[in-house]
Structure formats: C-alpha cells, structure tokens
Structure 1
Amino acid sequence: MTKLDPRLHAYRPDLADIALQGRVEAERYVSPRLVEVIEPVLSLRKAPRFDAMQLTQAMLGEEVKLFDEQEGWAFVQLARDGYVGYVNANALSPNRRAATHRVAVPSTYMYPEAGLKTQPAVAITLNAQVAVIAEEGQFSRLDNDRFVFSAHLRPVETVEADFVAVAELFRHVPYYWGGKSVQGLDCSGLVQLAFEASGIAAPRDSDMQERALGEELPANALGELARGDLVFWNGHVGIMTDAETLLHANGHHMMVVAEPLRQAVDRIAARHGEITSIKRVAL
C-alpha cells in the first residue's frame, strides 16, 4: 500500500479512520465522533504526553474528529485543516454548539459579567468561535454565560479583506513551534491563521502550503514581487508586505518581524539554502 501522510490521515498500527479501510493496515477501523474544543488554545501533540512535540494548535470552538481516548489523551483529527495528533481529552466536549461569531482581533477576553473589571477573565484568540445569545450594552453574552466585548467579534460568515493586514497584526509576537495564536506562532502558523481569518483555506505546514497556495512565479521574479506574495524555503515561509519587505515568524529573531527580503534571503541561504518557490495569492 502507498504510505499516506500521517499528518493528514488518522491511522496507527492498532486503529485507523474507517474512511482509510483498504488504504492502510490497522488492527481495527473506527468511525470518529465529532467533538468541540472548549479550551481557549489547545496543543495538538505528536505523542500522548505533555512533553511531546507540539505540532499545531486548535482554538476554542473548533470541531475535532475523535478516534480514540486513553488515559486522558485523545487521538484526533482537526476538522478545519485535517491535522492529526494527540490532545488533552479534558479539553474536548461532545456538546457541539452552533457558533455565531468568531474572534476578529489578535486576542480578547471572556468575562464573568458584562464589565471590563470583572474577574476571572479568560483570554481567547483570533479565529476562536463562540455562540452569542444576547447583547448587554457593549458586551455579547455567550452560551457559556461569559461576556466578550462585542466590537472584537464578527459573524462567522464574515471575513477579513486582506490577509496581509491580518498577519501584520502579529508583528513582534514570539516564535513558538507549532503555535498559531498571539501567544506564539511559527512561520506556517502565521500564514494559516491570516488566511483563515480571510476565509481562505490553507494547509498547516509550509511544505503543504507551498504545494497548495497561489500561482508560482518565475525564479527570477524577486525584483517584481507584490504585497501578498508568499516566499518559500525548505521548511520556511514568509509573506511580502510590499515589493521589498518580508513578514515572517522565524527562529533567528525568535519572533515575527518585517525585514528587507534581500537581507532574509542572504541570511537563510547561508544556513538553510535558497528560495524554493514564490507563489502569488490574489488579494
């Protein structure tokens, strides 16, 4: 059998998604249960341990396919981008809501009352989904009896007009492997969350994004780049904010920075190689 990418296909030697029966070998095949993330930000890990590598993150309200649960760990696949891994089972709920709004700012708070001084306040981040049941002054009451400042929410069907402008909101956010929130993110996480806010489906990892996003430009197009172009290296991606400036989360600065593209190209080439492709995405 052809080996399927385990990042995007739920299978292990002992069990697999029933949709993969006949494509992978496993002791048993199971149908997933649909559950929902109830933590503000949930780490999806490579193995069922808290010290295992973080692969990506899921946000509050995100739908998850649950295949197996053992000793407090759930083997899941994120419905939004198909990524597979392990999460804390206590952060999932079978009680799925009909989300009405999404968080449209890098971060905001859920308060116990419709007042900015009330505690405890819980931070939620861009692209989290919530269910609004009433309006109280400047605040929206959620179905969990918490309140969010209404101006920080948008109806789930509305999207941002410019994914680059979304990404620019995260300048100076710390680099964090597998992260995709204002608390920390990596290069492909920045691209994905900006695209999600703009209504564009994007894969999680940079190699997937390089294959799936945009139209490829010629290798000699460095002098003709435009806002929104994506520049790829082996294992890295950045977003052009204009013809000369690259915005990217990177391990050199350990945060999201905007720097001259030529400067980034020279530095990255010395350690990791040359640009592998440039992709143009319509704004």
Structure 2
Amino acid sequence: MSRAENTTDASQAPNHGQGPYVLSGPSVRPDPRKVPIRGDLAHIGLAGKYFVPHYAVPQPRTVMPGGAPLLAQPSEDAEELCILMEGDSFEVLDVTGKWAWGCLSLDGPVGYLRADRLETIE
C-alpha cells in the first residue's frame, strides 16, 4: 500500500462535523461579566462548551469582614460590578499580583477582587 493510499480523508471520519467544536461560522462570545471565561482561561464547568487553552478548578475563598467590590478589570479605578458581602464565597480561578479573578458561581457575576480581601475556606 502506498503512503497516499494509507492517508485518511478527514471528511470521511465518523465524527466529521459533529463534535463540540465545529467551525460553522463566527463564535458567540459570552458576556465576560456573567460567564467565567477569558481568552486564556475558563472555569472547569465550561469545558466542552467553550474552547480555551486552560481550564481552572475554582478555589473557594471567603470575603473578609467589610466586604469587597467586584470590578470589571484588575484596577482600582475599574467599573464596579457589585459589592460582595462579608462571608460570601468567591470562586477564585486566577491570581495575578494583588488581584484575584473569579466568580460567585458558574452563572456569575464574574470579575476581579483584591486578593487581600479574601481568606481561605477551611
């Protein structure tokens, strides 16, 4: 058998065009304030629904006394999305410097908190 005869045509594969990541047109971008997904990372609960290079298992943390603002960007002057109350559980997906990115739940809201406003749930 020649090498050319041994090559499989992808269009003849059993799952051709039927998998979860079919290139069928422009992808719909979810609202980043409601769905825990960025270009580089997403909540593990979104695996199979959205394609990103990495998925993170959330690390639950508790909001410290005094609460904390949930911000749209990792910046003190970013838009405030809401205020998290003392004792709220926050699912941390990424920490960079002094900022934690995550969500209250898989359904949002999603944003950034100062990491020093969170404590580990024990």
**Does the pair score TM above 0.5?**
yes
2:110 paired with 1:84:
yes
Query: Could you tell me whether the CA contact under 8 Å between 2:60 and 2:121 is conserved in 1?
Result: no
Verify: 1:74 aligned to 2:120, yes or no: no
Aligned to 2:116, the other structure's residue is in SS state helix
Structure 1 unaligned spans of 5+: 97-283
State the one-letter code of the partner of 1:14: D
Structure 1 position 22, deviation (Å): 2.3
8 Å CA contact 2:67–2:117 kept in 1: the answer is no
- RMSD (CA atoms): 1.8
**Structure 1 stretches (4+) deviating beyond 3 angstroms?**
none
- Compute the displacement of 1:27 (Å): 1.6
2:75 alignment partner, SS class: coil
Q: CA deviation at 1:74?
A: 0.2
Rounded Cα–Cα distance in structure 1 between residues aligned with 2:42 and 2:96? 15
Structure 1 residues 46-101: Cα deviation after superposition (integer angstroms, max 9, x where no partner): 1001111111110000011010001110001014x7200000000111135xxxxx
User: Which of 24, 32, 40 is residue 6 of structure 1 equivalent to?
Assistant: 32
Q: CA deviation at 1:21?
A: 1.4
Unaligned runs of 5+ in 2: 1-26
Q: How many residue pairs get matched?
A: 96
Superposed CA deviations along residues 224-261 of structure 1, whole A, max 9, x for unmatched, are xxxxxxxxxxxxxxxxxxxxxxxxxxxxxxxxxxxxxx
Give the drift of 1:2. 3.4
Give the superposition deviation at 1:14: 1.0
- Alignment check: 8 A CA contact 1:2 1:23 kept: no
Aligned to 1:27: 53
- Specify the alignment match of 2:66 in structure 1: 40
Structure 1 residue 4: Cα displacement = 2.3
More helix by share: 1
Cα displacement string for residues 173-206 of structure 1 (whole angstroms, at most 9, x for unaligned residues):
xxxxxxxxxxxxxxxxxxxxxxxxxxxxxxxxxx
Give the structure, 1 or 2, with the largest relative contact order (CA under 8 Å, sep 6 or more). Answer: 2
Matches of 1:35 and 1:54, distance apart in 2: 20
TM-score (norm 2): 0.71
CA distance in structure 2 between the partners assigned to 1:66 and 1:94 by the alignment: 10
TM-score, scaled relative to structure 1 = 0.32
Structure 1 residue 52 and structure 2 residue 52: aligned?
no
Equivalent position SS for 1:86: strand
Contact 2:101 2:113 in 1 (8 A): yes
Equivalent residue, structure 1, for 2:91: 65
Partner deviation per Cα, 1:98-134 (whole Å, 9 max, x = no partner):
xxxxxxxxxxxxxxxxxxxxxxxxxxxxxxxxxxxxx
Q: Residue in 2 aligned with 1:122? A: none
Counterpart of 1:86, as a letter, is: Y
